[in-house]
Amino acid sequence: MSDNFDVIVIGGGPAGYPAAIRAAQNKLSVACIDEWKNRDGSAAFGGTCLNAGCIPSKALLESSELYHRALHEFATHGVKLDGVSFDVETMQKRKGGIVRGMTQGILTLFKGAGVTPLTGHGRLLAGRKVEFTGHDGARRILQAKHVVLASGSEPMPLRGVDFDGERIVDSWGALEFAAVPKRLCVIGAGVIGLELGSVWRRLGAETVVLEALEQFLPMADGQLAKEAARHFRKQGLDIRLGAKVTAAKVEKDGVHVSYADAKGAQTLVVDRLIVAIGRRPFTRNLLGEGTGVVLDARGFIQVDEQCRTGAEAVWAVGDCVRGPMLAHKGKEEGVGVADLIAGKYGHVNYNAIPSVIYTAPEIAWVGQTEEQLKAAGRAYKTGSFPFAASGRARAMEAGAGFCKIVADAASDEILGIHIIGPMAGELIAEAVLAMEYSASSEDLQRTIHAHPTLSEAVHEAALAADKRAIDIPNR
């Protein structure tokens, strides 16, 4: 096998593997190096997303939601069950099968595209050389015309709280529980904390979520965050804001979690503790001497708008660079860079990256919130439509939540769309497309939406922005 490649990608997660595939589609010779090892010791491509993030969490969210609905909703539909139970082992097996299938699928994609997969550690050296150490310990020096760094991120640790992999775990550990903990504490009410808390709460865990900030979901539209908090609390998630965790210790009777809130020092005893306070870029042992690649104060690889590092023909994409830590953001960067390397057009529209929280109800948004527009002093108008007025949502027994559109007061350009409700993560795709094409709310108003579908809520919200909604009174 040659040791010379047009492109070497270090990291085979959702930022790295699409970069490798697109580069190969662009007729370049490509190798993709990844060092991920699963708990059974097997190597796998797909990074955090496929092995320990997006995919396994969605598998467990789906299973736990089905159980929750069987228990609490089926009777409303007239579906009667004689007792409902669940089996965590089966849920975990199903999840494992999905992860295995998806990660092995990447190898099939690599084969089809002509990408050389290399399992082991990659380290960039000066002059675009890459030191590759295979999982078997064999070391080789490879040479590339271009290198793409896609080394991803890792869970942020919390001072005073040591992971033991059993009682005190990170998000990956929380996806591997073999049984439902009776008492659970999640530190961090961000996207990951809420999703993992929801999984185990639905299966019966008494769940406390401790959040240091006073504000719930500060990155989301305020109205959306308020509605979400109401639903989560109704589901039994005990969300405590302004609660700063100072220490956690494993004792005989459980994990003792110490935190301080407005009332002073508090202690909580639980069976399992999940630390989900965020993620930080992962670049350990990635860069040799004299590469010219620079890290910023927070440890991210410094890049320009087009993901160029300071070093010639060295690029960086995904969670290891600035911007939201999302799989689809990394994928777009990876594909964009592979096109730029081939002399084609590559571009990421950072203003139209959707965010989704896969709870029930689901939460999704793209663009700016009302709060951001107010702070910027921009004149805007809004239109909202509640799912309670959507025929399809009512038929699904999923009338909670709403869709809200924010548009420029003068030009009518859509500036943001915020959804809490059924399939919000799917509905947001229309909003992203609209924003990608700089659509106005009138463009959406004049677009036919099939009836009865959930997407009519987006249509009606657009109409409501000009007080022309049909299915709700206009105020």
Ligand X SMILES: Cc1cc2nc3c(=O)[nH]c(=O)nc-3n(C[C@H](O)[C@H](O)[C@H](O)COP(=O)(O)OP(=O)(O)OC[C@H]3O[C@@H](n4cnc5c(N)ncnc54)[C@H](O)[C@@H]3O)c2cc1C
CB-nearer residue toward ligand X: 98 or 472:
98
Chain positions 39 to 68 lying near ligand X, rule: CB under 6 A, are: 47-49, 53-54, 57
Task: Verify binding: residue 363, ligand X, rule CB under 6 A.
Answer: no
Q: Which is nearer to ligand X, 327 or 348 (CB)?
A: 327
Tell me the closest approach of the beta carbon of residue 132 to ligand X, in angstroms. 8
**CA 73 → CA 66, 69, 389, 410, distances in Å?**
10, 5, 19, 44
170 Rama class: left (phi>0) / alpha (psi -120 to 50) / beta: beta
What are φ and ψ of residue 170, in 5° steps? -95, -170
| Contact by Cβ (8 Å): 167, 272 | yes
Q: Compute CA distances 390 → 171, 265, 448, 460, whole Å.
A: 36, 46, 16, 9
Q: Among residue numbers 275 through 304, which ones bind ligand X (CB under 6 A)?
A: 282, 286
Q: Map the footprint of ligand X across residues 105-164, applying CB under 6 A.
A: 121-122, 150-153
Using CA atoms, how far apart are residues 325 and 300, in angstroms rounded to an integer? Answer: 11
Number of residues located near ligand X, criterion CB under 6 A: 35
Pick one of 8, 15, 239, 407: the residue that binds ligand X (CB under 6 A): 15
The residue among 327, 357, 304 whose CA lies nearest residue 153 is 327
How far does the chain reach from its first CA to its final CA, in angstroms? 69
The nearest distance, CB 340 to ligand X, in angstroms, is: 18
Query: One of 328, 347, 451, 459 is an active-site residue; which one?
Result: 451
418, HSE (Cβ side, Cα atoms, 13 Å) = 23
For 175-325, where are the alpha helices, taking DSSP H only?
Answer: 191-202, 222-234
Tokens of 27: 């007729």
Minimum distance of ligand X from residue 230's CB (angstroms): 23
| Smallest distance, ligand X to C-beta of residue 144, A | 14
121 annotated active-site: no
The least CB distance from residue 454 to ligand X, in Å, is 20
The dihedral built from the CA positions of residue 320, 325, 330 and 333, taken in this order, carries a sign that is negative
Residue with Cβ nearer ligand X (57 or 359): 57
The smaller minimum CB distance to ligand X, of residues 178 and 265, is found at: 178
As measured in angstroms, the least distance from the Cβ of 286 to ligand X is 4
* Ramachandran area for residue 217 (φ above 0: left; ψ -120 to 50: alpha; else beta): left
Compute CA 391 distance to the chain's CA centroid, rounded to the nearest angstrom.
30
Our CB check for ligand X shows the closer of 26 and 133 to be: 133
One character per residue 185-214, x = contact with ligand X (rule: CB under 6 A): -------x----------------------
33 near ligand X, rule: CB under 6 A: yes
Cβ proximity to ligand X: between 15 and 59 the closer is 15
Near ligand X by CB under 6 A: residue from 7, 8, 23, 34: 34
Q: Are 68 and 202 in contact (CB under 8 A)?
A: yes
**Contact between 327 and ligand X per CB under 6 A:** yes
Tokens of 418: 């915020």
Among candidates 55, 53, 39, 44, which has minimal Cα distance to 11? Answer: 44
Shortest distance (Å) from residue 412 CB to ligand X? 30
Pick between residue 150 and residue 245 the one whose CB is nearest to ligand X: 150
How many Cβ atoms from other residues are within 10 Å of residue 212's Cβ?
17
**Ranges within 328-357 binding ligand X (CB under 6 A):** 328, 330
**Using CB under 6 A as the criterion, which residues of the chain lie in contact with ligand X when the complex forms?**
10-16, 33-36, 47-49, 53-54, 57, 121-122, 150-153, 171, 192, 282, 286, 318-319, 325-328, 330, 358
Catalytic residues: 451
